[in-house]
Amino acid sequence: MASLPVKPLSSGHLQLHRRNLIIPSSMGTVGFKRHNFLGVSSYDLCIDESVRHMRSLRSSSNRWPVSKSAGVSMPVASSDDFPAVSWETWKPEKTTVAPSLSDVIWPAAGAFAAMAILGRIDQMLNPRGISMSVAPLGAVSAILFITPSSPAARKYNMFTAQIGCAAIGVLAFSVFGPGWLARSTALAASIAFMVITRANHPPAASLPLLFIDGAKLHKLNFWYALFPGAAACILLCFLQEIVCYLKENFKF
């Protein structure tokens, strides 16, 4: 068998510059191996994939199995993709600093002063058969005095929700009368109102139910939108400023 002469090429024609290579960081070690074939010097790029990287790829492929039914290929979620049930929400919030005595005394004193003043106003309004200290104001006091920086304590949220939800309660009672239909409609409309207006103030959702079930409040009609909820919140906001000032300047 005749052999063909092969002219050796200069090594300059087949030269691999390492500085022109870009190696992804996810790949393993990189090495160069020299071969001599037919008088030609060449370099092969040897890439060593790490076993850890390959195992991670294999585990991710097992985590997302593929559904091949009816010629459709799509990932199917497995039980490993869903987080485990957490019991942290059933435990007290972990805070770095324990509440000081002033954090306990001043909010409690503010709530006591608020209910005492509202009780005195009730005595003045008793001949007319109406009351100023209604149950939702207790929840409002807790929000204003304990968490004054929460979204529910914002003045816009509080007054918008108090006025709007109270008016919805009066309207629902006027249309449906007393009963479960008026209560359920008023509560659903109140929640929708707070979502649309972005006025997150949960205590206001109880105002429509209070009006529908409270016979002595029916005489107020649409004045219920301003009294007692919104009017009492003005007093509570004033007391909130005093409580915040005392907490900042009189700590013990």
pLDDT tens for 211-220 read: 999 888 898 8
Distance CA 180, CA 73 (A): 50
The domain of 243 spans 101-249
Q: What is the DSSP letter of 114?
A: H
- Give, as one character, the DSSP assignment of residue 149: T
Among all chains, which residue has been given the structure tokens 């204003």?
A: 144
Task: Map residue 80 onto helix, strand or coil.
Answer: helix
Q: Please tell me what DSSP assigns to residue 148.
A: T
In a domain, 105, yes or no: yes
- Evaluate whether residue 133 is within a structural domain: yes
* Residues 47-71, mean pLDDT to the nearest whole number: 50
pLDDT of residue 96: 66
Query: Is 58 contained in some domain?
Result: no
Does 51 reside within a domain? no
**14 three-state secondary structure:** coil
Nearest by Cα to 212 from 177, 185, 164, 175: 177
Higher pLDDT, 157 or 23: 157
**Rounded to whole angstroms, how far apart are CA atoms 114 and 106?**
12
Pair of tokens at residue 181: 């239909």
Q: Which of 89, 24, 84, 12 is nearest to 53 (CA)?
A: 24
Predicted confidence (pLDDT) at residue 46 exceeds the cutoff of 50 = no
In a domain, 210, yes or no: yes
Q: Is the dihedral of CA 104, 105, 108, 114 positive or negative?
A: negative
| Residue 59 forms part of a structural domain | no
**How many domains is the chain partitioned into structurally?**
1
In a domain? residue 21: no
Q: In whole angstroms, give the CA distance from residue 93 to residue 234.
A: 31
Q: Given CA atoms 31, 34, 35, 38 in this order, what sign does their dihedral have? A: positive
Higher pLDDT, 91 or 133: 133
Give the predicted TM-score (pTM) of the model. 0.62
The answer to whether residue 70 is domain-embedded is no
